[in-house]
Amino acid sequence: MSDAYYLRLTDRLRELLSDPHACEEGRLPAERTLAERFRTTRVTLRQALAQLEGEGRIHRSNRRGWFVSPARLDYDPTRDAGFNDYVRAQGRRPRTEVLLTDTRPYPTAAEALGLPADQPFCHIRRRRFVDDRAVLAESLWVVPERAPGLLEGDYASHSLWGQLRSRWGLSLTHRSLRLYSEALPEREAAELGVAAGTAGLSVRRTIFDERRRPVEYDEEHWLHDALCITVELDGKA
Amino acid sequence: MSDAYYLRLTDRLRELLSDPHACEEGRLPAERTLAERFRTTRVTLRQALAQLEGEGRIHRSNRRGWFVSPARLDYDPTRDAGFNDYVRAQGRRPRTEVLLTDTRPYPTAAEALGLPADQPFCHIRRRRFVDDRAVLAESLWVVPERAPGLLEGDYASHSLWGQLRSRWGLSLTHRSLRLYSEALPEREAAELGVAAGTAGLSVRRTIFDERRRPVEYDEEHWLHDALCITVELDGKA
DNA sequence: CAGTGGTCTAGACCACCCA
DNA sequence: GGGTGGTCTAGACCACTGT
């Protein structure tokens, strides 16, 4: 079955991607142009493009066109190195936008943390960029008693976990992580400027301190081609 | 844009999925049947099906049809609980097929473990099933000096990590994990009986013992809708 | 063999982005 | 307003699965 035309197309498109002259500014030629060049229809061409999108080689932005995807970002969700720090450490340019902050209950977070459903949280929702590409939409839910005055601080430019340690003396001892591939929900897709249903990666973290008091719960939605999760462990499993 | 017909179709199909009478044996009606029922073309209907596939709700098998996807398997790659054990613990039926074993060099594993490129490894390649659905194709590369006679043992039915501990007294102290979403390569797709380019999750692990001697490297390729990765951490990051 | 999904054609109109 | 991707139609033939 590897004689399907759209699969041979992906091979030729891969060559095209590695040719720096063919894609100026990392942008691919228009679908109609490519379809004509490869003597096929837009439907078949788009099948090939979708394949490369699944491989993480290209992505689309709104209705603007197809672009070559940059290298994945290495990300260790078990550490609290700030987003800004580790993005810069990889030679990339980070940016963060706070979309909203408020204080209200969130039953999902409450359940994960073992709290009553009407427990209010300090909620921060933000969108994060790497080299001006929005790659992550996330919400954080912090137990207010653990970090009084959190929302008045500068929670955007510094590592939140770092602040929890330094300002409130918390130790983030027990960390539980769940992650799986998903189709980005409508809201997150809109915030990231991609079509609903675009492939994504969902990461949820639940944090307790050394006395097993609930501290924080968060939900991250990443573009699937934007990151490579890494975890380093020392000690017995 | 949520007024696209294929998106409304996904809503109606989701209802259909939750109706146990509509899909006998977890199998969906034929595409032509569904297209007719929803008064659209196969192309549009398939767009809706692809959306649900991305959400992990349905999957296809060869050219046999579309099936409702079962619940995701919880999997903690940092632990050495055997596949058989944790699959059964979740009320599912595990099965493993060994596809091949041999001893030969593998530069990728050698590099990950910091060994010379011509370092030979004990190599085990296998395919694993949950409830008779092939969900994982993996290769393991063990440093022969750490586990002499490994390939003569019963490496299929017992936890490999458990054996490394009990038979060879190894402690798997330093574990490094890398994972990212991918399009399944041709070989793995064929072994899992799905189309090349189906969405998958790649997991790579590199293991050193307490003296930082290299022990093992493995590469896993999972169907993207088959699992939810979980990690539990205690102690300082 | 009949039925299934897999692939492909040759058009069309629409919604949105940018100059 | 021109160009882009997003969506959709109404067909067709092929390759494979199961009987």
Q: Can you list the positions of beta strands (E) in A76-173?
A: 94-105, 120-130, 133-142
Q: Which residues of A touch B232 (CB under 8 A)?
A: 174-177
φ, ψ of residue A126 in degrees (nearest 5): -145, 170
> CA-to-CA distance for A128 and B4, rounded, in angstroms?
28
**What's the rounded Cα separation, in Å, for the pair A119 and A123?**
12
Nearest nt by C1' to A196 Cα: D6
Higher pLDDT, A160 or B104: B104
* Nearest chain B residue (CA) to A75: B178
* pLDDT of the residue at A157: 65
Sheet holding A133-142, edge to edge: A94-105, A120-130, A133-142, A214-223, A199-208, A174-183, B227-234, B73-75
Domains and CATH numbers, chain B: 5-68 (1.10.10.10), 73-229 (3.40.1410.10)
Is A221 an 8 Å CB contact of chain B? no
A117 touches A57 (CB < 8 A): no
Position A172 scores a pLDDT of 87
Examine the pLDDT at B73 and tell me if it is beyond 90.
yes
Burial label for B130, CB within 10 Å (0-12, 13-18, 19+), is buried
Predicted local distance difference test score (pLDDT) of residue B3 = 76
A50 vs B196: which has the higher pLDDT: A50
For strands B58-61 and A227-234, give the pairing: unpaired
C19 C1' – A64 CA distance, angstroms? 14
Q: What pairs with residue A129 in β-bridges?
A: A95, A134
pLDDT tens digits, B9-43: 999 999 888 876 767 668 899 999 999 999 999 99
pLDDT of residue B24: 66
Do residues A162 and A153 lie in contact, with contact meaning Cβ atoms separated by under 8 Å? Answer: no
Q: Is A227 on the interface with B (CB under 8 A)?
A: yes
pLDDT at B151: 83
What's residue B1's pLDDT? 44
- B6 has a pLDDT exceeding 80: yes
A236, HSE (Cβ side, Cα atoms, 13 Å):
4
At B154, the pLDDT band (50, 70, 90 cuts) reads confident
Contact of B227 with B134, CB cutoff 8 Å: no
Using a 10 angstrom Cβ sphere, with 0-12 exposed, 13-18 middle and 19 or more buried, the burial of residue A126 is buried
Distance CA A98, CA A85 (A): 18
Specify whether the CB–CB gap between A194 and A60 falls below 8 A: yes
Contact A183/B55, CB-based, under 8 Å? Answer: yes
> What is the pLDDT, as a whole number, of residue A156?
64
B130's CB contacts (< 8 A; 6+ apart) are: B70, B73, B87, B92, B93, B94, B226
CA-to-CA distance for A163 and A150, rounded, in angstroms? 9
* Residues written for chain B: 237
Distance A51 CA to D18 C1' (A): 30
Residue-wise pLDDT tens digits, B176-203: 999 999 999 888 988 898 888 899 999 9
Question: What pLDDT score was predicted for residue A3?
Answer: 75
Q: What's the maximum distance between 2 C-alpha atoms anywhere in chain B? A: 66
Tens digits of residue pLDDT in B77-106: 888 778 999 999 999 999 998 889 999 999
The answer, yes or no, to whether residue A202 has pLDDT greater than 90, is yes
Higher pLDDT, B151 or B125: B125
| Residues in B touching A51 (Cβ below 8 Å) | 183, 197
Residue A177 touches chain B, beta carbons under 8 Å: yes
Q: What is the pLDDT of residue B40?
A: 93
Mean pLDDT of the region A162-169: 87
- Average pLDDT of the residues of chain B: 90
The pLDDT of residue A50 is 94
SS3 string, chain B, reads CCCCHHHHHHHHHHHHHHCCCCCHHHECCCHHHHHHHCCCCHHHHHHHHHHHHHCCCEEEECCCEEEECCCCEEECCCCCCCHHHHHHHCCCCEEEEEEEEEEEECHHHHHHHCCCCCCEEEEEEEEEEECCEEEEEEEEEECHHHCCCHHHCCCCCCCHHHHHHHHHCCCCCEEEEEEEEEECCHHHHHHHCCCCCCEEEEEEEEEECCCCCEEEEEEEEEECCCEEEEEEEECCC
* Yes or no, beta carbons of B178 and A2 under 8 Å apart: no
Cα atoms in the Cβ-side hemisphere of radius 13 Å centred on A182: 20
- Report, as an integer, the average pLDDT of A196-202: 91
pLDDT band at A158 (very low <50, low <70, confident <90, very high): confident
Q: Both tokens of residue A209?
A: 């301190």
Over residues A194-208, mean pLDDT: 92
Which two tokens mark B65? 């049809």
Report how far residue B194's alpha carbon sits from residue B189's, in angstroms, rounded to the nearest whole number: 5
Angstrom distance, A11 CA to C5 C1': 24
Q: Is the pLDDT of residue B121 over 80?
A: yes
Q: Does residue A91 come out as left (phi exceeding 0), alpha (psi in the -120 to 50 range) or beta? A: left
DSSP states of A28-88? PPPHHHHHHHTTS-HHHHHHHHHHHHHTTSEEEETTTEEEE--PPEEE-TTS---HHHHHH
Least confident of A76-80, B44-48, B84-88: A76-80
Q: Which nucleotides of C are covered by protein (CB under 7 A)?
A: 3-12, 15-18
Q: Amino acid identity of A179?
A: L
**pTM (2 d.p.):** 0.92
Are the C-beta atoms of B143 and B157 separated by less than 8 Å? no
Residues shown for chain A: 237
How far does the CA of A40 sit from the C1' of C9, in Å?
A: 9
Residues of chain B with C-beta less than 8 angstroms from the C-beta of A54: 183, 197, 199
What pLDDT, on a 0 to 100 scale, did the predictor assign at position B81?
Answer: 76
**Per-residue model confidence as pLDDT tens digits over A117-131:** 999 999 999 999 999
Q: Grade residue A1 by pLDDT with cuts at 50, 70 and 90.
A: very low
Model confidence at A2, in pLDDT bands (50, 70, 90)? low
Nearest by Cα to B106 from B90, B123, B94, B92: B123
**Residue A79 scores a pLDDT above 90:** no
Record the tokens describing residue A41, joined without a space.
């229809």
User: Mean pLDDT for chain A?
Assistant: 90
Taking the alpha carbons at both ends of chain B, their separation in whole angstroms is 43
Residue type, B137: A
CA distance A224 to A182: 9
Has residue A90 got a pLDDT over 80? Answer: yes
